[in-house]
Amino acid sequence: MEELHLFIENEGERISTVMHIPEETPAPAVVFSHGFTGNKIEAHRLFVRAARKMSKEGFVAVRFDFRGSGESDGEFEEMSISSEISDLNSVLKFLLDKKEVSREKIGLVGLSLGGVVSILTAAKNSITKAVCTWSSPACLRLLSSLRDSFGVDLSQIEKGYIDLPSGYRIGRVFFEDALRHDILDDCAKISPRPMLIIHGSQDSVVPVEHARMLYDRAGEPKKIIIIEGADHTFNRREWEDKVIELTIGWFKEIFKL
């Protein structure tokens, strides 16, 4: 196996990317999209472990930082859902030209907001052949979520931005752009391509009801798995192992690997 660290360009800015390449190629590819304020490593190195395990199982696994996050160019304040969709599309187009990748077997995994971006991207392109979401919202109750989950002072929005306690600043463009997207409507457009929805029963950031809303709107073939007791980012080794194992098993079945 090989790990390549590289940059993919989008709109004149660089997207920091890691490709995990299996011993035998061409191979199916799976692209991981991180969550809000996350990066291509993710909480407790979740994406690193998942990508390395997928590579051992014969997949090309790809992790990347959206612009404004991690080691990519750009500022977080300039980020929007549309800019993240654009970044993911750039990564997908890059993979189409790689000899290591089976062009007809490219799937997506998205955590939290990365799940939203994966759904919205797949609904509007034919490159993606399968979608798996981890802890993905079904709708964006942005302001109430920021208040409840991050302790944000919402009066700041009048200044054109909101500062998070973590040090990140969200620009007004993020909120304005979010109104343009309908997650459930686009979820329905993924079919007849398969979709797997995984969620923790004790997710306090994105309640498990969101997973059921996505499942209800998705067309066949579709599958939902609720991991009992798990939180938003599967913060116990048993939960982490389970979400990775379930995801790999599903993609192996879908791509007949």
Both 161 and 206 in one domain: the answer is no
Sign of CA dihedral 131, 136, 138, 139: negative
Domain that holds residue 168: 141-180
Nearest to 124 by CA among 78, 67, 193: 193
> Would the pLDDT of 213 be above 80?
yes
Decide if 96 contacts 47 (C-beta within 8 A). Answer: no
Both 172 and 190 in one domain: the answer is no
Both 208 and 149 in one domain: the answer is no
Q: Which two tokens stand for residue 183?
A: 């997650």
Both 167 and 224 in one domain: the answer is no
Both 117 and 154 in one domain: the answer is no
Residue where one domain finishes, among candidates 128, 150, 180: 180
Q: Stretch 3-30: mean pLDDT, rounded?
A: 99
Both 122 and 100 in one domain: the answer is yes
Stated pTM of the model: 0.94
pLDDT band at 156 (very low <50, low <70, confident <90, very high): low
Both 75 and 174 in one domain: the answer is no
Q: Stretch 35-40: mean pLDDT, rounded?
A: 97
Residue where one domain finishes, among candidates 160, 180, 200: 180
Full DSSP string of 47-101: HHHHHHHHHHTT-EEEEEPPTTSTTSSS-GGG--HHHHHHHHHHHHHHHHT-TTE
Both 46 and 155 in one domain: the answer is no
Both 71 and 148 in one domain: the answer is no
Contacts of residues 235-243 at CB distance under 8 Å and 24 or more positions apart, as own/partner, are: 235/43, 235/44, 239/200, 240/44, 240/46, 240/49, 243/50, 243/134, 243/198
How many angstroms separate the CA atoms of 226 and 243, rounded? 10
> Would the pLDDT of 37 be above 80?
yes
Stronger pLDDT, 148 or 172, i.e. the higher one: 172
Helix (H, G, I), strand (E, B), or coil: what is residue 37?
coil
- Domain of residue 59, CATH code: 3.40.50.1820
Distances (CA, A) of 114 to 58, 132, 137, 159, 169: 23, 10, 9, 27, 18
Both 122 and 164 in one domain: the answer is no
Q: Stretch 98-120: mean pLDDT, rounded?
A: 98
> Would the pLDDT of 147 be above 70?
no
For residue range 157-170, list pLDDT tens digits in order.
667 888 888 889 98
How many angstroms separate the CA atoms of 137 and 210, rounded? 6
Overall domain count for the chain: 2
Q: Stretch 60-86: mean pLDDT, rounded?
A: 98
How many angstroms separate the CA atoms of 234 and 241, rounded? 9
Both 130 and 16 in one domain: the answer is yes
In sequence order, which residues have a C-beta less than 8 Å from that of residue 8 and are 6 or more positions away? 14, 15, 17, 64, 90, 91, 94
Both 105 and 66 in one domain: the answer is yes
